[in-house]
Amino acid sequence: MPVSADTFPTRQVTIISPYQAGGTSDIIARLLVRRLGEIWKQAVIVENRAGANGGIGLTAVARAPADGYTLLAVASSALTINPLIYRNISYDVSRDLAPISRTGFVPNVVVVNPAVPVKDLKEFIALARSKTGSLNFASQGNGSNGHLTGEMFAQQTNVQLTHIGYKGSAPAVTDLVSGQIQVMFDNLPTVLEQIRGGQLRALAVTSAARTPLLPDVPTVAESGYPGFDSSAWFAVLAPKATPEAVRGEIERAVVAAMTDVEIQRKFSELGITAIAGGSEELARRIDAESRSWKSVIDKAGIKVE
């Protein structure tokens, strides 16, 4: 019997989060599955398959049965950056995956260990210029949004920072708090509590506008670099051959979840802006951002084996 929107889902749906637990993408996925479970009245679970900046989990979804029961909740970097930097990549976004909808976006925050003797971004840039290449910046992994945001920052401010890629935000933040790393360009939800607790110092946010959760922290643009704007966003996708009717039902449910008042409240408390743009908006975003990151990647000469 063909799968249709009228009968989908009739059993458990698995959403693969291709990162370690605790990162922003994983947080979004876990909030999303609760609401989808209520909408569908079926079990919806998150399965973590970390590695290769999301590539391992993404490949698993691309190769999964195209019936709607295996979905992907992923950060933008795996869709727009990975294909530009990995020499041997086992998936093709447009060929293997069907867009469903974006779910949210967050600014990155420029955070330093409090032992770094700077109070604002101007002082940090001056310090970095005086210690060319000796300050390390951490990211969630090679090719992650945090990595590319750091590279874009270095290019626009004319500083040299040494990139250290980790396998996820959690271990990177741990080393940043302990002082082994000096600076990070991380998603706001991942470092918000450490900022509030004084374990990290926020110098700037990378989005075009300030975040209401850190109203006194200026943007990079306000700090002397007009036009600087980098945010991480997150999305749900399905295997490409998933029947159109099923994709439509998944899109309907995800959009309904993202427009739910309670979901939006929880997202806002974490510094996440909920998005419910649907499949066409997501497809346009992937294309536009892939082109914009290419210039940063080419200038930095980033390639990952």
C-alpha closest to that of 101 among 78, 124, 74, 140: 74
pLDDT tens by residue, 71-123: 999 999 999 999 999 888 889 999 999 999 999 999 999 999 999 999 999 99
DSSP readout, 17-67? E-S-TTSHHHHHHHHHHHHHHHHHTS-EEEEE---GGGHHHHHHHHTS-SS
Mean pLDDT of 261-286: 94
Work out the percent of the chain whose per-residue pLDDT is above 70: 98
Give the whole-angstrom CA distance, residue 44 versus residue 38: 9
Peptide bond into 9 cis (omega under 30): yes
Q: Kindly tell me if the per-residue pLDDT of 143 is higher than 90.
A: no
What pLDDT score was predicted for residue 86?
A: 87
Q: Left, alpha or beta for 219 (phi > 0: left; psi -120 to 50: alpha)?
A: beta
Mean pLDDT of 268-276: 91
The number of helices, as runs of H, and strands, as runs of E, in the chain is: 12, 10
Work out the percent of the chain whose per-residue pLDDT is above 90: 81
Give the whole-angstrom CA distance, residue 165 versus residue 108: 16
Parallel/antiparallel/unpaired status of strands 13-17 and 44-48: parallel
Confidence band for 4, pLDDT divided at 50, 70 and 90: low
Confidence band for 1, pLDDT divided at 50, 70 and 90: very low
What pLDDT score was predicted for residue 303?
A: 81
217-237 b/e with 16+ CB inside 10 Å = b? Answer: bbbbbbbebeebbbbbbbbbb
Confidence band for 44, pLDDT divided at 50, 70 and 90: very high
Mean pLDDT of 203-218: 95
Look up the pTM and report it.
Answer: 0.83
- Do residues 98 and 242 make contact, with C-beta atoms less than 8 angstroms apart? yes
Domains present along the chain, CATH in parentheses: 13-106+232-300 (3.40.190.150), 107-205 (3.40.190.10)
DSSP readout, 160-223? --EEEE-SSHHHHHHHHHHTSS-EEEEEHHHHHHHHHTTSSEEEEE-SSS--TTSTTSPBTTTT
SS3 305: coil
Confidence band for 229, pLDDT divided at 50, 70 and 90: very high
What pLDDT score was predicted for residue 3?
A: 52
